[in-house]
Structure 1
Amino acid sequence: MTPSVTIIMATYNRAHFIVETLQSIENQTFENWECLIIDDGGTDNTAEVITPILEYNKRFRFLKRPDKYLKGLPGCRNYGLDVAKGDYIIFFDDDDIVHPQNLELCVTELSQKDISFCRYIRHAFMGDFMYDFDYSKVYTSFYIDANDVEKILKNELPFNSCAVMWKKDCFVNNRFTEHLMYAEEWELYSRIISTGIRGISIDKCLFYGRKHANSNTGEFYTHNPIRRASKKEAILLVVQNLKEKQLLSPSLLRYFIQLSLGFKEYHLFSKILNKLQLTIFEKVQLQLFYFTLPLRLSVFGKWKKIKKLNQ
């Protein structure tokens, strides 16, 4: 039987976590799926520890990333997209836990409504996972479209890489940018949604992300230069995409300029200006905003502290 859902899982030296993740996939209440485990050139015993699962459950496939795809998470996922058989696509990481109803509820939402993706809630955990799932099928929901791109980019509407199921059609003209080593899903997902498709968000936790220092996010927040350079590139790609689609609102532009304060070593502010076709007056306005922003942020921070003390 052709699988309805393709799960794409990139893996790299996660032998100590991946078995528990695969077991959570095996426990799905929806059974018509395939899981493509894409090895990114790992050197540990991942292949050995998952061999028993591969032998008795043929829905799992262990594949090596071909050299024509760049090393890294985006390249592995693009390879998975090219060999996927399912009508629906979902990306899982190799160290997390999946709620048993994840696939079932997402497929139900995607099959009953004229929508292209289903977003859900993702919670984080550290250490041992507590297997105490909520099996209720009663939840609220709301729709998401291009009008919500700003909320997504500002993380006011979190759009984690493993917290959304997509119709495969969304990736016909969209792929991960393979040279990005951080924020690749932030860049791709905003690009897809900015095309005008519509999705749904359900208010139920269906995924649990494991927090640890060796994750990409953990490395970014410890100032790993590769991750930081990738976020800078992702910001420039997002600005370019929004500009082309005429979705770069003044508030979003100010947001990206504020972000650029944290990437001065890359001259990000100047590079953002170069992406835009601005008049001299508009450039001067943005330069004034940029150079006075640190002082205004400092004053605002002190005002908030004083207000809190007086409450």
Structure 2
Amino acid sequence: MDLVNKPLVSVIIPTYRRVELLKETLINLIEQEYSSWEAIVVDDGSDSDIICITSQYTNLDERIFFYQRPNFYPKGASGSRNFGLSQAKGKYIQWLDDDDLLSVEKILKQVEVLEKSDSFKKIAISPWAYSYDLDNFKINVINNSESFYSVEEILKYFTENETFIPLHSYLMPKKLINFSGLWNVNLNLNLDAEFMLRVLMCSEEVINVSQGYCIYRSHEMPSLSSNVLKKTNSRVASLQLMNAHLNSVEKEFAPYFKWRLSRVFNSTWRDRKQRNSLERYKWFFKNFDIDFRLSYYYFLKKKIYQLVYPRIKSLKRKSN
């Protein structure tokens, strides 16, 4: 890479009432080996002293910019990200939540790979870790470090491994986002999956960069999400949209939607309010072989599986 003319990376960080975590994320960003970046921090309406705190970092590093989300952008992560994107000057976009962390070489290694191609339809991913404890975490290698060449390939990987790729694992050209569309402001849960499906559908290749990684943190601090019923509705509505996106280009991947809808069903059906909320989507569930009338059978089957599977697993270990 030409170290004199390094492309700018815009790091877009929506934030809401998590000042301490945000400070850690900004320090982590300042420590990146890749220096040609700008951080666009967008506050979603915090009632804390976030302006005072963030001003310390904007004064410390001129690459950090702080904004409060304008009222004409809807409240929430999607509105904040769309506003951040409107301010971005970079060739590449790094999405980063206010509690996310990146290894020091992550952006550098991904930029190096993407700069080898003239196509704006290639994106990069990195390994990632899910962490409760930053002193003890396991890095997940994606797809045996192999790249993906179609949206069907990546959906198959998600389904077979019952996993996902966190948003900040990706580095993508801004031009590709302009091509695939902005964040959907009507969703407040599973919005990452819906947004990334559109990006992946427009991509030629998802390049797996094994050097560098990102950390997806788990904690109990507030997020930009909404109440439980809205979350349930958003989870299903986002999956409906994703299915419609694929159908619009005559693509489909039923196993993925059956897996995701099964998870929604299992986690919400026993709650009466959430069950009532799901009823409006019963035909969508049924399209993927989940019939609400058979709910007792599904939970009985699940209970038997939970009882029997550990014993089968134990017997297999003994036989080996």
Shorter-chain-normalised TM-score: which range?
A: 0.7 to 0.9
1:246/1:302 Cα in 2 relative to 1: closer, same or farther (>3 Å)?
Answer: farther
- Alpha-carbon deviation of 1:205? 4.5
Task: Report whether the alignment pairs 1:142 with 2:142.
Answer: no
2:31 to 3, 23, 27: 27
The question of whether the paired residues in 1 share the 8 Å contact of 2:132 and 2:219 is answered with yes
- Alpha-carbon deviation of 1:148? 2.0
- Computed over aligned residues only, the root mean square deviation of the Cα atoms, in angstroms, reads 3.4
2:283 to 273, 296, 301: 273
| C-alpha distance in 2 between matches for 1:69 and 1:153 | 32
* TM-score, scaled relative to structure 2: 0.79
The question of whether the paired residues in 1 share the 8 Å contact of 2:148 and 2:205 is answered with yes
- Alpha-carbon deviation of 1:73? 0.7
The question of whether the paired residues in 1 share the 8 Å contact of 2:166 and 2:216 is answered with no
Instruction: Find the counterpart in structure 2 of residue 175 from structure 1.
Output: 182
| Aligned pairs (5 A) from 1:1-311 | 4-113=8-117, 114=119, 116-126=122-132, 129-130=134-135, 140-151=145-156, 154=159, 156=162, 158-172=164-178, 173-214=180-221, 216=223, 224-262=228-266, 263-264=268-269, 265=275, 268=278, 271=281, 273=283, 287=291, 293-311=298-316
| C-alpha distance in 2 between matches for 1:175 and 1:98 | 24
- Alpha-carbon deviation of 1:157? 5.3
**SS, match of residue 76 in structure 1:** helix
Identity %: 18
1:2/1:256 Cα in 2 relative to 1: closer, same or farther (>3 Å)?
Answer: closer
The question of whether the paired residues in 2 share the 8 Å contact of 1:151 and 1:157 is answered with no
| C-alpha distance in 2 between matches for 1:28 and 1:103 | 7
The question of whether the paired residues in 2 share the 8 Å contact of 1:21 and 1:97 is answered with yes
Question: After alignment, is 78-87 or 224-233 more displaced?
Answer: 224-233
- Alpha-carbon deviation of 1:59? 0.9
1:3/1:305 Cα in 2 relative to 1: closer, same or farther (>3 Å)?
Answer: closer
> Unaligned stretches of 5+ in structure 1?
276-281
**SS, match of residue 214 in structure 2:** strand
| C-alpha distance in 2 between matches for 1:102 and 1:301 | 39
**SS, match of residue 212 in structure 1:** coil
- Alpha-carbon deviation of 1:151? 3.1
The question of whether the paired residues in 1 share the 8 Å contact of 2:10 and 2:37 is answered with yes
Question: After alignment, is 293-302 or 11-20 more displaced?
Answer: 293-302
Q: Deviations along 1:49-70, whole A, 9 cap, x unmatched? A: 2212212321111011111211
**SS, match of residue 199 in structure 1:** strand
Q: Structure 1: which 4+ aligned runs deviate by more than 6 Å?
A: 282-286
The question of whether the paired residues in 1 share the 8 Å contact of 2:194 and 2:242 is answered with yes
What is the one-letter code of the residue matched to 1:176? Answer: W
* TM-score, scaled relative to structure 1: 0.81
The question of whether the paired residues in 1 share the 8 Å contact of 2:145 and 2:209 is answered with yes
1:214/1:266 Cα in 2 relative to 1: closer, same or farther (>3 Å)?
Answer: farther
Instruction: Find the counterpart in structure 1 of residue 272 from structure 2.
Output: none
**SS, match of residue 203 in structure 1:** coil
| C-alpha distance in 1 between matches for 2:135 and 2:264 | 39
The question of whether the paired residues in 1 share the 8 Å contact of 2:187 and 2:234 is answered with yes
- Alpha-carbon deviation of 1:110? 0.8
1:88/1:25 Cα in 2 relative to 1: closer, same or farther (>3 Å)?
Answer: same
